[in-house]
A and B are shown apart, each in its own frame.
Chain A
């Protein structure tokens, strides 16, 4: 079983929409989780950390549900510039990525 699993999408949403991504993780001992953004042919860039208490940064909200072993990322008021692949990271020693979810925001 993979350390971290993620719906690959794609998600095609109109500008202004709210979109949510989830990742599930298999190792209940995992402590740290992160969301990354990856643009085409580039390295992943850290978007935000995920805390049990929830973490909000502008239009982005990340949450961790330890009981159900999943993390989520919510993007409100989607912009065209949000189009990218979003990857969750966690697992043993926080080294494993999910498959990534491709988001396309449509004008």
Chain B
């Protein structure tokens, strides 16, 4: 079946640094990808919709200048958490639409 990969699987960084997370659709092209965030014991919250070749669409309350999304090709979307702070520590999951919605394995971010 279709596979979506994410890299890195986990990252630890210092407060104030930026972290880039990659999401790839491995065997299909995805004009649209989605980024979710999940805090401990909470549900997945949709952050933004990543559109190939155009600007991302952000959900209410998500800062577009803090969470930079780039979708430069049909198989790759990146999420950059800029000037990360401890409260950004979370599980970030991307998904892509093929025949259905396929999820990546997630990236666990810890900001010290």
Contacts and interface: CB of A to CB of B under 8 A. Distances in A.
> Does chain A bind chain B?
yes
Given A43-B93, A46-B100, A99 B43 contact: yes
Interface residues of A, number: 15
Contact of A44 (B46, B100, B103): B103
Interface in A78-107: 87, 94-100
Contacts of B98: none
B54 interface: no
Interface string A6-24: 1000000000000000000
Interface string B95-112: 000001101111010000
23 contacts: A6-B43, A41-B91, A42-B105, A43-B93, A43-B103, A43-B104, A43-B105, A43-B106, A44-B93, A45-B103, A46-B100, A87-B44, A94-B101, A95-B34, A95-B49, A96-B46, A97-B44, A97-B45, A97-B46, A99-B42, A99-B43, A100-B42, A100-B43
Given A41-B91, A46-B100, A100-B42, 12 more contacts: A6-B43, A43-B93, A43-B103, A44-B44, A44-B93, A46-B101, A87-B43, A95-B49, A97-B36, A97-B43, A99-B43, A100-B43
Interface of A: 6, 41-46, 87, 94-100
